[in-house]
Structure 1
């Protein structure tokens, strides 16, 4: 597959280090593009649920691929989310073309874009963090069970299904939360004079104009790489939602070493040790 030039890519909610993460699919996507800039909009590494017993090679390849982009001079902005909130103590740290931030404002073709993860709007996160963490474990378990069921459905020649999407669609509170999240983000963006507001967090890819009595703003959400396998792309003045389709990558296999033309980082970067130190507050 020929690589595509994309001015800006936004990825969020990858949840590296969990069973639900689709790292292989994300790696194929990253291999298919030549980005001018990358924004990692929170929950890329799931420090909440990190276990030294689960860090597959495909998850490590994502880190290597991103670092390869860095060596090529591609600006990468890592905006912290709730699952990687321990990184917030290192906010505004920069290494080469890599920047660790809580939020970001960019001017895109004369229009201001506001990027942040979005967990600040989550009441559960603000007042009952233990409940949010318990919910995260439950969600990961649901995804794991869903994956097993989908394998059986695929074997039987039946269509796959998403447990969480069915739950969200059935319960009005879940739908209301998503709508409130989007309108709140749009309202704050309008008050600050932004043209675009770009979030993650709710695992709900979206690109739509929201109009209020104060004006109109484009709300965007990059979705996730657990269920939806989506990213946002901005190129030549236009936004689009990229949706991973396995058939488009059928002939592609994840590269054996994403750092094949540069120094191998295995001897210098042990993600297991790094994340354990972050959780313990040592680093």
Structure 2
């Protein structure tokens, strides 16, 4: 039996990059059913695709799985624009059937309201000083490359996974200070909008805690943490980590369906990965 949630939130999958755990997130989504799936930004990494990234079949399988969720389980999908997939500015807001592509949204459930945003709009570096953001992206990409080499060595010796970038963030005081300030500013934004909580991504740090009476929820990422947020039908939120899922137990109770051909994309209107000059960031948030 699949676990059924009301809402699942994932962010920062960074499809198109070597570090993206696309196979893992597809396997993760196969374990659950949900009424709402919120893709909270940086699902496609347009920045890397413009430079050295490449689109592979395993990246397409992620969207194949999302389409099957819409078709087979009547799941509503909300794709929120992030800074790495800012090419979506050229088409949002857009709604096609059960799929909505939007800037941000207000989510109401069990008497509570949550403001949902990727989070980069509150990051003055990515918003105003784009060249610094790109420089930071290069450094992070290098850390991920170094991290893969390090963990290849550790796996051969039976050692557990080690996140080099998370270790560096934890040691650099300015990074710790930035994360704390980021979380506090988002909590203030939620309060200003009359919401009980904030749901975001962007900084690749999964979290579920209270900040001055505001519930702060961060879904983490699918590059290292491999985490997601899930809400049950009573309104309780939890963080789910891929590495803590007992897939063997779940697979023992699942009857495998008849193999279906993969859903293919296209043709679609051509969209540039370069940012639009006419951004309309002041449009009202999408509400469900």
TM over 0.5: yes
SS at match of 1:245: helix
| Aligned residue number for residue 153 of structure 1 | 154
Q: How does 1:37-186 map to 2 (within 5 A)?
A: 37-50=36-49, 54-72=54-72, 73-186=74-187
Deviation at 1:53, TM superposition (A): 6.7
Q: Assess if the C-alpha contact under 8 Å between 1:18 and 1:140 holds in 2.
A: no
Q: How many residues align?
A: 267
Deviation at 1:260, TM superposition (A): 4.8
- Structure 1 pair 245–24 and aligned structure 2 pair: CA distance change class (3 A): same
CA deviation vs aligned residue, 1:33-56 (integer Å, no higher than 9, x gap): 011100000000001111687222
CA deviation vs aligned residue, 1:16-44 (integer Å, no higher than 9, x gap): 00011011110110000011100000000
| Aligned residue number for residue 226 of structure 1 | 223
Q: Assess if the C-alpha contact under 8 Å between 2:199 and 2:217 holds in 1.
A: yes
Q: Does 1:8 align with 2:2?
A: no
C-alpha separation in 1, matches of 2:151 and 2:121: 33
SS at match of 1:168: helix
Q: Assess if the C-alpha contact under 8 Å between 1:11 and 1:232 holds in 2.
A: yes
Deviation at 1:161, TM superposition (A): 1.6
SS at match of 1:40: strand
Farther-moved stretch of structure 1 (161-170 vs 201-210): 161-170
| Aligned residue number for residue 279 of structure 1 | 273
Deviation at 1:278, TM superposition (A): 2.4
C-alpha separation in 2, matches of 1:281 and 1:125: 13
C-alpha separation in 2, matches of 1:42 and 1:53: 18
Deviation at 1:107, TM superposition (A): 0.9
| Aligned residue number for residue 255 of structure 1 | none
| Aligned residue number for residue 33 of structure 1 | 32
Deviation at 1:259, TM superposition (A): 11
| Aligned residue number for residue 192 of structure 2 | 191
Deviation at 1:224, TM superposition (A): 0.2
- Structure 1 pair 69–259 and aligned structure 2 pair: CA distance change class (3 A): farther
Deviation at 1:155, TM superposition (A): 0.6
SS at match of 1:68: helix
C-alpha separation in 1, matches of 2:18 and 2:11: 16
TM-score normalized with structure 2 length: 0.86
Q: Assess if the C-alpha contact under 8 Å between 1:70 and 1:96 holds in 2.
A: no
Runs of 4+ more than 6 Å apart: none
TM-score normalized with structure 1 length: 0.87
C-alpha separation in 1, matches of 2:275 and 2:182: 31
The answer for unaligned runs of 5 or more in structure 1 is 253-257
C-alpha separation in 1, matches of 2:208 and 2:61: 29
Aligned-residue RMSD, C-alpha: 2.3
C-alpha separation in 2, matches of 1:280 and 1:232: 30
SS at match of 1:29: helix
Deviation at 1:269, TM superposition (A): 2.9
Q: Assess if the C-alpha contact under 8 Å between 1:118 and 1:201 holds in 2.
A: yes
